[in-house]
Amino acid sequence: MFQRISSSFVNNSEQANKISTTQTDQGISSINLINTRNNPSNLQGQVRQKLQYEWKNLYRSLNGKDLNENGTVSKKQFEDALKTTGVFLTNEDMKYLSENFGDSNSIKYDQISQNLGLHQNSFNLMRETHSRINRIKTASNMSSSAARNHHNTSINIIP
């Protein structure tokens, strides 16, 4: 007995449904309509797919905004980076990211990278390089500030 299982997705702004059919050599034996809108694993896959193509550029942008170097940025910084890289996420996508990788004010982009399978080993080098650049800038600012203070200091000698 021949059996073939197929499935297809029907998507529009009102619904996201999966149509699953089981077909035998005598004809279609069952048709199932499954609502996938609120399925967390499906939503995770959709978000991953939207982020995947531009993730390297998005990660680089977020890494540059991460002043504490802890893999976390504000929600506003995350949304700005999305706009800059041309990635569109729905309110539902953002809610999913906030609930799973942050809170109402911040997003843990490093966790997103790891947990959604978007992370590449080269990102670790990127973070290390960014960290070194920040340390050099800080040291440079401190030394130029000290030099300015030294230059402005004068000693008055009274005869």
pLDDT in tens, 88-123: 999 999 999 999 999 889 999 989 988 888 776 655
Show the domains of the chain with their CATH numbers: 1-10+19-38 (no CATH), 40-143 (1.10.238)
Q: What is the pLDDT of residue 107?
A: 94
DSSP label of 3: E
Q: Closest Cα partner for 62 from 80, 45, 44?
A: 80
pLDDT tens by residue, 54-84: 888 998 899 899 988 899 999 999 999 999 9
Q: How far apart are CA 146 and CA 142, in angstroms?
A: 6
Other Cβ atoms less than 10 A from the Cβ of 154: the count is 5
DSSP label of 35: E
